[in-house]
Chain A
Amino acid sequence: MLRKADTSAVWAIVASLVLFFIGGLLTTVVPPMVDKSWGRPFANADPAKGPTGTLVRLNAQQQQGRDIYVREGCWYCHTQQIRTLLADTKRYGWKGVDAPISTPDEFVYDTPHMFGTKRTGPDLARVGGRYDTQWHRTHFRNPRDLVKGSIMPAFPWIVGNPQEFTALVAYMQTLGRAKDWRPSNDYER
């Protein structure tokens, strides 16, 4: 049989595709069928089970902001995931409150997903409500005016376009807010 494997191109094609599809199907098609939480939007009304809240879809303005986020490649340097690491929950927490760990149900409406792979800048999964609009305006105009040593590019053409700027900030303020994690609604606008 393996003698044939050495000499038959058709055998090779079939066998390599079969092997590929075993792993391919089991790791891409099967997991969402096994773990239903990938497709169920976050909703929790019971404080005993952790932060309460509901995942809502972005409105038109927030969606436009998200499109700008994708267009400018923000996701090459900013991840959007609080991992199951103590350092992540502490570092991206706020006033002593730990940031809740990101769960699949918070991202159900995301497309394209913006989880990211590289943290050249800080994680943005819970950045919603962390800074106010004025801070963002100054920061996008030139990040080094606010954060000395930052290497983030300046985005003057976004600040100079009020509609785009408002949309982008509106999107950023939604990040991580499906879970109402800060006590007494302490969010910046």
Chain B
Amino acid sequence: MQEQFSRAESGGAAPGAIIHEDTTVKWFVVSSISYFFIVGIIALIIAAKFVWPDLMGTTAWLTYGRLRPLHVNGMLFGWLLAADMGLTFYIVPRLCGVKIWSEKLGVATGVLWNVIILGAVVSLLLGRNKGFEYGELEMSLSVLVVVAWLMFTANILMTVFQRKYQAMYVSIWYFMGCLLWTAFVYLTGNFATLLATGVNQANLNWMYVHNAVGLIFTPVGLGIAYYFIPRTSNTPLFSHKLSMVGFWSLAFVYVWTGAHHMLHGPISQWLQTIAIAFSLMLLVPVWAVVYNLLITMKGQWHQLRDKVELKFLMSGVVFYLLTCFQGPMHSLRTVNAIVSKTDWIPGHAHMAVLGAFSFFAIAGTYYAAPRVFGKLLHSVALANWSYWMIMIGGLGFFTTLWLGGFWQGWQWNNVSIPFIDTVVALKPIWTVRFISGVMIFVGIVMFAYNIMATVLGPETEAAA
């Protein structure tokens, strides 16, 4: 395992060893980090607009209402999902002991994905917005997403069907779950919603929004964490059976909770109650996963000092635990009456998508990119710096928004305070959020530069 092979040596060695081409992985890695950087700039602009509302304020396509959907869609689909797809293309053939079913189809998926993201940038800036949260992309692009997803699904499932080893490691479970559920969740949020109106439509929309995180990013993110934590630490997973408990409970309870986005709102009380009950049950799959991953590291925590991938992975696990503790708690009616619709919520959402799932994807990219390109990582020191910048910036971001959200919630509940005073009260919060955002962005630049320098850098043999 720890033997030092160079690429040339491994070619002839180990009879029967598979040489993975990984062209698809390369496509996804490079495009996802590019979008991470580009959309990071958008993120900074909208954070700045909270502090200086007149910034770029008289150009239609640079207003907050146009840039926010670009930030959300760009980060979710351009960076995170692309990175996750690339890592799936990396992990699945290795776990199955076979080559990817079709490298050509994979590359085509990568190209199509880039077309979609570029189309999204143009159409969203023009204000062509379907008007559904996470479902903003216009119809033609939504159809292309479905096509790309079917190509991706076919490729991965065929690889799984051809696998050399019968038993499937937990990551494969999560990837398969993600592939199947995403198809239906995405169809619900982007097509079924158009057949309904009013509250019925909102219910379908929240089912999609909740499960875009719960049944798309969660399973693929956990699949990545379940693969890279044992791999980077060279330590077997604590328990395969426990990982199955986590998977099957996730499969069952996540989809029920969409209505908790409308607690106290104009939607049937009984549906709210069901959503609350299932939101609390979310603790089961989360704690099963987190316990499994944390105990895997028992006696191995010292490895975090040397391996930047493990720093990202284990921090991601802790953020996952926290964010998935917050979720069930906000769905309680009493807590919801304070935090709902406040700045607490973006703090929570960013901890899930940036703190947990992006950390897993960054770790996976740091691990996989040098290997697929056959290079040495450009700089371990820079990678560590990127970790600390994103980590400290992220913590600043999350904690200030939680604090601000609570202020806001309490002030709103005191009707003698005019609304505008509750806006002014949050200015310091938004200033700190902007500064934290700058730190996160610097970390992203370091990460993206490090990977690009690795990709474009000298061959392994030359560097060694």
Q: Which residues of the other chain, A, contact B60 by a CB distance below 8 angstroms?
A: 157
A39 to B267 alpha-carbon distance, docked (Å)? 12
Complexed CA–CA distance, A75 and B58 (Å): 19
- The total of chain B residues at the interface (CB under 8 A) is 86
- Chain B residues in 8 Å Cβ range of A113: 197-199, 201-202, 205
Among the 9-residue stretches B247-255, B287-295, B379-387, the one with 4 or more Cβ atoms under 8 Å from chain A is B247-255
Check if B255 sits within 8 Å of A23, measured CB to CB. yes
Hey, which chain A residues are within 8 Å of B267, CB to CB?
104
Is residue B271 contacting chain A, with contact meaning CB distance below 8 A?
Answer: yes
CB distance from A188 to the nearest CB of B (A): 18
In the complex, the answer to whether A112 meets B132 with C-beta atoms within 8 Å is yes
Residues of chain A within 8 A of B423, CB atoms compared: 120-121, 149-151
B residues less than 8 Å from A22 (CB atoms):
252
Interface stretch among B11-19, B61-69, B73-81? Answer: B61-69
Stretch at the interface among A46-54, A78-86, A128-136: A78-86
Q: Which residues of B contact A88 (CB under 8 A)?
A: 264
A150–B53 touching, CB < 8 Å: yes
Whole-angstrom distance from the CB of A69 to the nearest CB of chain B? 9
Q: Is B177 an interface residue (CB 8 A)?
A: yes
Q: Is A152 an interface residue (CB 8 A)?
A: yes
Cβ 8 A contact of B261, one of A16, A71, A117, A156: A117
Is A147 at the interface (CB under 8 A from chain B)? yes
The total of interchain contacts (Cβ-Cβ below 8 angstroms) comes to 214
**Minimum Cβ distance to chain B for residue A155 (Å):** 8
A107 to B251, CA, bound (A): 32
**Chain A residues, CB < 8 A from B184:** 20, 24
Tell me whether A115 and B255 are in contact (CB under 8 A): no
Is B388 part of the contact surface with A, judged by Cβ < 8 Å?
A: no
**Distance of A172 from chain B, by nearest CB (Å):** 15
Within 8 A of B (CB), among A108-163: 108-122, 143-144, 147-157
B105 CB within 8 Å of chain A: no
Interchain Cβ contacts under 8 Å between A and B, 9 examples: A19-B248, A20-B181, A83-B265, A88-B264, A112-B130, A114-B131, A148-B420, A149-B427, A150-B53
Given contacts A27-B207, A119-B342, 14 further A-B contacts (CB under 8 A): A7-B167, A19-B251, A19-B252, A20-B215, A35-B271, A75-B131, A91-B419, A104-B267, A107-B198, A114-B131, A116-B341, A118-B345, A151-B49, A155-B63
Q: Which 8 A-B pairs have the closest CB atoms?
A: A73-B65, A112-B131, A83-B264, A23-B255, A107-B198, A104-B199, A70-B131, A151-B53
